[in-house]
Amino acid sequence: MISIHQTRIKTNNCFKILAIESSCDDTACAIIRSDGMVLGEKVHSQKEHVHFGGVVPEIAARAHMHHLPFLVNSLLDEAKVSWCQIDAIAATCGPGLIGGVIVGSSFAKGLALSKKIPFIGINHIEAHALTVRLPDISNKKIEFPYLLFLTSGGHCQCIYVDDVGKYQHLGGTIDDAAGEAFDKVAKMLGLPWPGGPALEALAKEGNENAFIMPHPLYGRDGCDFSFSGLKTAVANLLEPYKDLSCLPRSLAADIAASFQKTITDTIINRLENAIQMAPKTKILATAGGVAANQYLKFHLMRLASQYNMEFIAPPIRYCTDNAVMIGWTAIEILKKTITNNFIPNDIDLIPRPRWPLSEMKSRFEH
């Protein structure tokens, strides 16, 4: 017997998705309609990690377990959406901190089973890749293909996005991600966690040409990244100041500004190669937490202009991890699968700490 939920999905009749994201330290849920309308969202940014200067995976997982039930119930109440109006549930199944991924996806699967509706397991990287197609991000629909620069605390990749489920990895970091480098340098400077925004704020006070730092892989073929050498360069500059209380703020600001400029210059150089590797696209998109950095965003916009490309970036709230991108990705998947008269149900999908984008195409091979 076909349920009313299946009917609404198959006819594309404004079906609704409840989405859950728990891959790192933000516990998030959202309800999004098939036309892209966000009916409500909730995000709890965990404060439990502040004293540790970084995310502690076990603490994050326990916090997700504690906050998720309340967040989902309050979301439904505030959005004035009942369970009978939810047609599918989507949740991050990887990549990410495996404890948090297990908590979020298991909670979502339990709800899906109890409500007798489909569960859609979402790849966190794919969700970032498709975020720029959310209807309220651009005045026009973003068409495939486009070049995506994904930059966050855990990821730094250049991805050619050809279609839903069709992605080509052009290059990525061989050591630290850009966001991780920002956070670690911020910690060296004695800045509060999360370090990226604090370092960006401090850099505004400094001289970006005060220090010459190494540009890892700059000028080489391909579009891989390396940022570990930059951290070492900052550590060497700070060697005389073992007691950070003796570090002059003006010097710290100059270091922050020089570091931010160097990492941005390096990114732009690597992206120039990525653009040459993806000649068919006229769109440069960015996503991920570091994409919220306004200094980097300005230079990405300038790069796109130099190559006569359109530049697309989500608003800051969708750059960082969020449940709206999880729900939108489920909608993109469902819209593609229902053309083959198929509604996926990933109830048996195993959560994974790593999940290559190359595997996404298998979802449509039915």
Burial pattern 139-173, b for ≥16 Cβ within 10 A else e, equals: eeebeebbbbbbbbbbbbbbbbbbebbebeebbeb
Is 281 annotated for ligand binding? Answer: no
Among 326, 315, 319, CA closest to 17 = 326
Three-class secondary structure of residue 209 per DSSP: coil
Is 152 annotated for ligand binding? Answer: yes
Q: Angle at the Cα of 295 (from 290 to 299), degrees rounded to 5?
A: 100
Is 49 annotated for ligand binding? Answer: no
**Dihedral sign, Cα of residue 7, residue 8, residue 12, residue 15:** negative
Structure tokens at 326: 């999880």
Is 222 annotated for ligand binding? Answer: no
Sequence-ordered list of residues with C-beta below 8 angstroms from that of 212, at least 6 positions apart, any chain: 258
**Which segments of 261-353 are extended strands (E)?**
283-287, 310-312
**Helices 178-188 and 228-238, axial angle in degrees (round to 10):** 10
Location of structure tokens 């397991």: 121
Is 128 annotated for ligand binding? Answer: yes
Report the relative pairing of strands 16-21 and 26-33 from DSSP bridges.
Answer: antiparallel
Is 154 annotated for ligand binding? Answer: yes
Is 305 annotated for ligand binding? Answer: no
Is 151 annotated for ligand binding? Answer: yes
Is 121 annotated for ligand binding? Answer: no
Side chain identity, residue 235:
A
Is 321 annotated for ligand binding? Answer: yes
Is 124 annotated for ligand binding? Answer: yes
Q: Which residues are annotated as a binding site for substrate?
A: 150-154, 183, 196, 200, 293
Q: Which residues are annotated as a binding site for Fe cation?
A: 124, 128, 321
Q: Which residues are annotated as a binding site?
A: 124, 128, 150-154, 183, 196, 200, 293, 321
